[in-house]
Structure 1
Amino acid sequence: MAISDEMRDYRTKQTMETFGFLASFSWEQVYDQIDYLLAQGWAPAIEHEHPQDAFERYWTMWKLPMFGVQDLETVVQELEACHRAYPDHHVRLVGFDDYTQSLGTAFVVYEARG
């Protein structure tokens, strides 16, 4: 059975986060994901990286993880601050699960074209 070009593209596509195979989130969906992250008790953290380096290295963390933060607006303000400071970088929100000591979720909030 031959693999279609569409399937081949999907299998070789590099993604930057948990939801990389979906269309970009609307702001309402971003807020819903942040609410979910906070409801799980995960620590939000923000990472950024220039598009040309996004697949070749670990992303740079913006400040420290926001341990104990339970306010959506605080997380959104930090995402916006990171994007203002690095407008030519991808900005990703990750949720660290301290119980399992693993990454609970990660998704790109601002995707730079470059």
Structure 2
Amino acid sequence: MSGDSLFGVHGAALEVRSQRMGVLASNIANASTPGFKARDIDFKSALASLETDGAGGIDAATKYRVPTQTSMDGNTVELNQEQTAFAENAVQYQTTLSFLNGRISQVTRALKGD
């Protein structure tokens, strides 16, 4: 039984969501850094690339954000947008993690004969 068939796409989804969490956290941390350019990961593209190209696919799906309003110092982080995206991604990460934990529990029970 391979990990791919056991967890399906959810293992790769967790990896993409984890990487996206880091990118969004970096954006938030650099909200007042002059010249900082906000980035984000296109989840669908990253997931598709990860399944075909491996970890390099996430890098290819990481793009700079186009701001609604650029600040005078060239920083493109829009804090409200970043915080919302971070919170949404955190919920999606937790949901994926919960699914995987449930699947692991099912397999564990099956192996024990419960």
Q: Same fold (TM over 0.5)?
A: no
TM-score of the aligned structures, taking structure 2 as reference length:
0.29
Q: Which has the larger radius of gyration?
A: 2
Larger helix proportion of the pair: 2
TM-score of the aligned structures, taking structure 1 as reference length:
0.29
